[in-house]
Structure 1
Amino acid sequence: MQRKDIGKRLADGISAKLEFDYICERGRSFNEYHLHGVMNEIISALISSVDFLSRPGYAHEALARDVDTTAGRKREVDFYIQAHNPSLTDVCIEAKWAGSSHCSWDRVLLDICRLALVNKHSPSTECLFVLSGPTKEVDAVLKSLERNMPRRNMRGRSGSILQRPVESEKTYKNIYRLRDWGGRFAGNEFVQKGLPKKKDGRPNIPVKINTQLVRTSGTRTAKWQTIVWRILNN
C-alpha cells in the first residue's frame, strides 16, 4: 500500500472522532461496532477505490483450516484492504474496543497470532493491530497481557508482547517467542481453538512474533486512546 502512514492516521483519526462523537452526546453507543464504523470512514478516505478494495470481515486464506475445510464458520479478519495492482501492498487489520467483553487478554493474543499467520503467508502484507477505547481501559488491557504472559522476549530483557505507549517517538521491534511459553500456552484452549489447524490436526501456533509500536494517540491523561502496532512473523 502506498499510504505508509495508515497506522498513524488510524491512531490519530480514531481518537479524534471518538472525542467529537462524545462531545455530540454519542458516547453511549461506543463499542467495537462503533469503532469499526469509524475505522471504515478513515480507511475509505485514505485509499483510492481504483487501486484498492476494502473488505470488512474478510475470511483470509491464511486462516483457513488445513483439516476439514468445510466445517464451521471461516475465520475472519476485521479489515482486509486488497490492492488491485500487484505493485501495491495489501493491508490486514484487527481491532479491539477496550472495555468490551470481547477485549480480554487472550482474545487480543489470538488477534495478534492471526495477524502473524497472515504476514507469514504474505510477508508483503501490512498487518496492524488496533486497540482503542477509554484510556483507563486500554491501560487495563495491556496490564492484563503483562500479568498473564511471561515478560521476556528474545532480546533477553523483560517486556510484554506489545510495547507500551511512549512519550517519545522511539520504538523498538519486540521479538516474542510463543513456543518458549510452553505449557501455559498449550493449556490455553480458547487461543488454540481460534487458530487454524495444520494437516496433523495441531493448531498452527506462530513460533515467534515481531511487534512494533506504530503510533499512540494523545497522552495518558486523555479520555480516549488508540494504539496501533505492526505485527510481523519473522
Structure 2
Amino acid sequence: MQMHIARRLSEAVGSWLHMEFCCYRAGLLSESSLKAAVGHVLSSFPILVKGERVHADFAHELLNPNGQLGRKKELDFALVLAGDGLRKRKAQIAVETKWAGSSHCTPSKIFRDFLRLSEIKRGDPETVCIFLLAGSHRDMCKVLRAMPFVAGGKVNTGIGSSGKEKRLRPNRDNKDHVKCFSAPFKSLSFAGFTIPESFVCQSHGLHPLQTAGGTVDFQAIAWEIKSVSSENLNITAW
C-alpha cells in the first residue's frame, strides 16, 4: 500500500530526529535543522512535471496576493517547477513547518500557517498542502493539547490530531477561537488574503509513538489540507 505523503513526511522526519538523538546530536536540533530532513524526503517523490525539484523558502504567488514590493512571503518548502519566466504556482507539494518549543510555535502562528496553506489549496487544488510539526516529546504534547488543535467545550472544535478528517469552522462565539484566530485573520486579510469560512484537514502521525518506558524524546506529525470552502469568512466581527 502506498504511504500517504503526510505520513511519509512525519515518519521520516520523526525517525531522523530519533536517529540524531541516538547519535548524541539532540543539542543541534531546531526548526532550521529540519531543512535537510524535509528536503531529503520531498526530493524522493516521483515528479509529475519534468524539471520539478524541491525549493526551500519559495515565494509562492498565492502567498503574495497584493504583489507588494520588497521581500515576498515565502513557503517553507515546495516541490515545484520553478525558473525564469515561470509563475510561482502549481506546486506538486507545499509544506509549512513548525518546531515545537520555539518562540515561533505559538497557537496563532500555527493557525496562520494552516490558513496560508488553505489559500494555496483553494487557488491550486491539485497541490498537496502539508503542515508538519516536530520537536521534543514534552513540547509536542504541550502544543497538541492547546489551540489550534484543541478548543475548550464539550466537543473539540479545534483542528484535532486524531487521524480523522475534520472540518475547522471558526466560531466567533467560542472564546478560544477568538483568542487564537483573530490576529492571523486580521493580518492576513490586511495583506490581501481571503479567509475561508472553513477547511478540512487530516493528521498523519504521531511518529515515533511514545513507549511505555518513555524512551522517545523527539516526534513529528503532519496534517494535509484536504479541501477548502469556496465561501469566505466575514472577519469584521473578529
Q: Which TM-score band applies after superposition, normalised by the shorter structure?
A: 0.7 to 0.9
Partner residue in 1 for 2:86: none
Partner residue in 1 for 2:78: 80
Structure 1 pair 19/205, CA: closer, same or farther in 2 (3 Å)?
same
Contact 2:133 2:222 in 1 (8 A): yes
Q: After TM superposition, give the deviation of residue 163 of structure 1 in Å.
A: 2.1
Partner residue in 2 for 1:93: 95
Distance between the aligned counterparts of 2:181 and 2:119, measured in 1?
20
What stretches of structure 1 move > 6 A for 4+ residues in a row? none
Distance between the aligned counterparts of 2:148 and 2:180, measured in 1?
18
Contact 1:162 1:174 in 2 (8 A): yes
Under a length normalisation based on structure 2, what TM-score does the superposition of the two structures give?
0.77
Q: Structure 1 residues 107-116 or 42-51, which shifts more?
A: 42-51
Contact 2:161 2:202 in 1 (8 A): no
Contact 1:196 1:204 in 2 (8 A): no
Q: After TM superposition, give the deviation of residue 44 of structure 1 in Å.
A: 1.8
Partner residue in 2 for 1:35: 34
2:206 aligned partner, one-letter code: T
Counterpart secondary structure, 1:62: helix
Which of 202, 206, 211 is matched with 1:216 structurally?
Answer: 206
- Equivalent residues in 2 for 1:77-226, closer than 5 Å: 77-82=75-80, 90-145=92-147, 150-151=151-152, 158-165=155-162, 171-178=163-170, 180=172, 184=178, 188-190=182-184, 192-194=186-188, 197-198=191-192, 203-221=193-211, 222-226=216-220
Distance between the aligned counterparts of 2:79 and 2:46, measured in 1?
9
Q: After TM superposition, give the deviation of residue 127 of structure 1 in Å.
A: 0.5
Structural RMSD (CA): 2.9
Distance between the aligned counterparts of 1:98 and 1:186, measured in 2?
17
Counterpart secondary structure, 1:32: coil
Q: Is 1:46 the equivalent of 2:41?
A: no
Q: Structure 1 residues 3-12 or 13-22, which shifts more?
A: 3-12
Distance between the aligned counterparts of 1:191 and 1:216, measured in 2?
28
Gap regions ≥5 residues in structure 1:
166-170
Distance between the aligned counterparts of 2:91 and 2:59, measured in 1?
18
Distance between the aligned counterparts of 2:180 and 2:141, measured in 1?
26
Distance between the aligned counterparts of 2:80 and 2:190, measured in 1?
22
1:45 aligned partner, one-letter code: S
Partner residue in 2 for 1:70: 68
Counterpart secondary structure, 1:213: strand
2:158 aligned partner, one-letter code: I
Counterpart secondary structure, 2:44: helix
Deviation per residue, 1:7-37 (Å, 9 max, x gap): 1211111111111111222111110000122
Gap regions ≥5 residues in structure 2:
83-89, 230-238
Q: After TM superposition, give the deviation of residue 182 of structure 1 in Å.
A: 7.6
Q: After TM superposition, give the deviation of residue 124 of structure 1 in Å.
A: 1.3
Identity %: 23
Distance between the aligned counterparts of 2:77 and 2:199, measured in 1?
20
Distance between the aligned counterparts of 1:54 and 1:44, measured in 2?
6
Q: After TM superposition, give the deviation of residue 196 of structure 1 in Å.
A: 6.2
